[in-house]
Structure 1
Amino acid sequence: MNNQFKTVALLAVLSGLLIAISYWIIGGTGGLIVGIGLAAVTNLFSWYQSDKIALSVYHARPVSETQAPGLYRMVQRLSQRANLPMPGVYIVPNQTANAFATGRDPEHAAVAVTEGILNILSEDELEGVIAHELTHIANRDTLTQAVAATVAGAISFLAQMVSYSLWFGGASSRESDKSGNIFGVLLTVILAPIAATIIQLAISRTREFSADAGAAKLTANPRALAQALQRLEATAKQRPLNANPAFEPLLIINPLSGKFLGNLFSSHPATEARVEELLKLEQQLLRTGY
């Protein structure tokens, strides 16, 4: 519940930032309408197309039970246990070890794993990873991330549009200078996209802890997922899965997660923190005899 509250609060701040930057830069009711309209259009597009775009970016190909029987049956078994519709199953032709889920809702979802992850994880570790991705689907995190990404993108687009107008719209820039607003506009152009990115990534980090906890309960084996995360981080540092940075929050592991200031710009919590939480869950499950 705490993570759900954090997510709602962060999304509210992100949406408020979009409206505020539109109002500040464009001005008045017109700015408000532009901000809301831009958010609506981008979110509508992401609602229907985010899964196709993500799968295309990573060159994921669909597989059937005949083509990948072990993986397909694992996804099928865990989906039934989680009371979810069977998602599409995809394999990414890449030796990097990683996985992700996408889709606007459980009825239009997909789970994708790389060839690399199939090669290095044991069966129970892979099960923990699949359960993690299915929890993202059950929690509708894939939609949450699409909304956060598109609103953040809209903010960046507005800021970029204004920066062009400041460079090439000399007259309007001089007018702003006379009114004393030019410094405020410049600060907005610079800081708003940074703030939007930080909030978007904070939403992603919050959802990762929830997905880890859901996977632990679904498999009743938190340690297997903890071991998988450690193994994935070690291999991902050597061979990162390069793609559009906008889709990094979808991945189960991000090798660029750091400490201190670096955490602000990381799409995932530190693996050490996730492992620690999973081992705590293991102790709780042992005490309750789950």
Structure 2
Amino acid sequence: MDFFTQQDKARKNTGRLVLLFLVAVFSLIMLTNILIGLTFWFVTQEENVQRGISVISSTDTRTIAGLFSWRSFGLISLAVGGSVLCAILYKWAQLSAGGKAVAESLGGVRLYPNSDDPNHQQVLNVVEEMALASGMPVPPVYLLEHELGINAFAAGNTPADAVIGVTKGAVEHFKRDELQGVIAHEFSHILNGDMRLNLRLIALLHGIVFIGIMGEMLARGSGHRRSDGRAALLGIALMFIGWLGTFFGNLIKAAVSRQREFLADASAVQFTRNPEGISNALKLIGGYGSGTEINASHRSEVSHLFFGQAIQHLSSMMATHPPLVDRILKVDPDWDGNYLHRTPPTRQRKQEGDEETRQQKKERFVETVMTGAAVTAGVDSQDLFSGSSDLDQLRNEIDGIPAELHKQAHDPLGAIAICYAFLLHAEPSLQQKQLVLVEKSGFSGLVELTKKLHPLIEPVGVGSRLPLIELLLPALKCMSKEQYVSFKRTLLLLIRADKRTDLFEWCLYQLIRHYLVGEFEPRKEIKYKFKKASQVSGEYQLVLSLLAHYGHESEELAERAFNRGAGSAGLYNISLLSKSECDQEGFIQSVNKLSSSYPALKPRLLTGIKNCIYQDGVVSALEREIVSTIAVVMDAPIPLFSEDDTKT
């Protein structure tokens, strides 16, 4: 699956959406002018009739011209347009917090990584697997504990502030492979760029609907005062316009959403290599009495976010999702037409069947992560089991996380301790200085836990560090704002304790900062600026030069690696910089600028970086970490190194 292409399509869909929105707003402004003019004319004539003045004699071209003058048109248009803009900005400000704002507005409760509930733990485990498989941070999971319908959603502005939401019905009724298929479907929405598009859709449509809300408030406010007949009529007119806006807004929402659902279903099959998972999930929904119904009060504005149709009994024209039968047949062409029905005893057997031995969980976890990583990188998942040494190495690295560290990674204090343990220096005096800094951070018991985990960190393979860091993120997001400030400050002090920053420390800090900033700080949205590689040639030259020198011993090999990477990116007029010109501060600034490239350009840039590193046919664990961190900063799926990459 080419997720970069899909992200570019989603961005173009955003442009079409804005165009449709502008057309809708212009139409509503014109209609508002007409209805307000007619309302004032009607009220004026009613007053004339009461005074005994003839309607015909009091109506002439001058009167009509007064009602529909350019001045009144401009004032009404300004009022409507300003109201719509204010409503959009208000809603956008609400959504700026990311997916958690959506989840909490629906009554969602965050599931903590160290939860003891087996159903909750199963959901958390599946989300964790899919995140590592797609080269993304592990997002927080929210449970809609009052929703009995079977449904799920992904929401957020970027992968860094994304959340996964599941209903109580989904947790109680899905088997593990069905849940895995649904979660994979939601992750594909994140990778395809649908998630950001969906949030923008909420904000834009709120602007249209706000006209109707304003009219309803006006009509209700004047209903208790007999002298306010004009205001009541105006309110009713605006309510009618708001209803029309909602109608056309839902048409826009349905048109944008439906085709993306088919794509997400197909992506879920690729991720899991198990079409039965998502097809059985859809069949179970068809045989379940409550279906995918969501009962939250403002479900209409977020209905397009969900896995299934959140509002039942809509006409096909208004439906945000394709018909259930069509979705099932897409992934299971041989379906016999029978839905699945799961009674309480069946659900009990389902829970028993989901129990696995420790070794089975380990094997399934590694296989899922490897399969998903291949799909994200555009590699045939069958190659995962063809004996590639690099894939075997990556499989061993994922499998190499000690059980105690895996356990501590799901606890907030344990996750902080692991981060600090990564940074402890080998020199005893410097390490003692760092432990004093940890003690000053204000977390009770943190020094002892850091010292306890440090011996477990040391033997961990370098390649296991990145998966372990990604596992920490949900627990770290459970910190309070004050704890985050202290954690971030201490993290920087530990890195600077030896007065130098190595590449691993840069990778660790960038990963943690990038994925936590959306949770605790206002996040600046990436603005795409660069469509051509030539626009970032200087920055790319510096990044590629540093990597070429780092991974190759001789100047000749470094130049060969650089030229291969530059050629892959389509930049043939740049040359290798000397080592003295490759400073780390410039490297960091260059990577940040590359993140402003358009989605269609990013795969070329990342392919060039990957080919530069793989020129000698060997990829160290640290090189993989650097490439992964660059991809994370660029908001792009992490590239997978496959056997074909060794070919020149």
Q: TM-score scaled by structure 1?
A: 0.77
- Any idea what SS the aligned residue of 2:290 has? helix
Q: How does 1:1-290 map onto structure 2 within 5 Å?
A: 4=10, 8-22=15-29, 25=32, 27-29=76-78, 31-48=80-97, 51-67=100-116, 68-94=120-146, 95-162=148-215, 188-235=241-288, 237=290, 240-244=293-297, 245-246=299-300, 247-254=302-309, 262-279=315-332
Q: 1:93 and 1:185 mapped to 2: Cα distance?
A: 37
Paired position in structure 2 for 1:180: none
Q: Deviations over 1:29-69 (max 9, x none)?
A: 55444433432332232232663243342333322145344
More helix by share: 1
Q: Deviations over 1:78-106 (max 9, x none)?
A: 11111111100233334443222222221
Which letter does structure 2 place at the counterpart of 1:60? V
Q: 2:89 and 2:109 mapped to 1: Cα distance?
A: 28
Q: TM-score scaled by structure 2?
A: 0.37
Instruction: Name which one, 1 or 2, has greater alpha-carbon Rg.
Output: 2
Deviation of the 1:270 alpha carbon: 0.8
Greater alpha carbon shift after TM alignment, 117-126 vs 23-32:
23-32
- The higher relative CO (CA closer than 8 Å, separation ≥ 6) is in 1
Unaligned runs of 5+ residues in structure 2 are 1-5, 33-74, 223-227, 334-374, 383-648
Q: Is the 8 A contact 2:285 2:292 kept in 1?
A: no
Question: Percent identity of the aligned residues?
Answer: 22
> Given the superposition, is the C-alpha separation of residues 44 and 92 from structure 1 closer, same or farther in structure 2, using an over 3 Å criterion?
closer
Q: Is the 8 A contact 1:253 1:268 kept in 2?
A: yes
Q: 2:238 and 2:140 mapped to 1: Cα distance?
A: 46
Q: 2:141 and 2:294 mapped to 1: Cα distance?
A: 19
Q: Is the 8 A contact 2:99 2:154 kept in 1?
A: no
> Given the superposition, is the C-alpha separation of residues 266 and 257 from structure 1 closer, same or farther in structure 2, using an over 3 Å criterion?
farther
Q: Is the 8 A contact 1:18 1:151 kept in 2?
A: no
Unaligned runs of 5+ residues in structure 1 are 177-183
> Given the superposition, is the C-alpha separation of residues 211 and 65 from structure 1 closer, same or farther in structure 2, using an over 3 Å criterion?
farther
RMSD: 3.7
> Given the superposition, is the C-alpha separation of residues 23 and 274 from structure 1 closer, same or farther in structure 2, using an over 3 Å criterion?
same
Q: 2:239 and 2:129 mapped to 1: Cα distance?
A: 54
Q: Is the 8 A contact 1:47 1:143 kept in 2?
A: no
> Given the superposition, is the C-alpha separation of residues 13 and 255 from structure 1 closer, same or farther in structure 2, using an over 3 Å criterion?
closer
Deviation of the 1:141 alpha carbon: 2.7
Which letter does structure 1 place at the counterpart of 2:305? L
Greater alpha carbon shift after TM alignment, 89-98 vs 79-88:
89-98
> Given the superposition, is the C-alpha separation of residues 278 and 9 from structure 1 closer, same or farther in structure 2, using an over 3 Å criterion?
farther
- Any idea what SS the aligned residue of 1:27 has? helix
Q: Deviations over 1:111-134 (max 9, x none)?
A: 122343233222221110110111
Q: Is the 8 A contact 1:19 1:36 kept in 2?
A: no
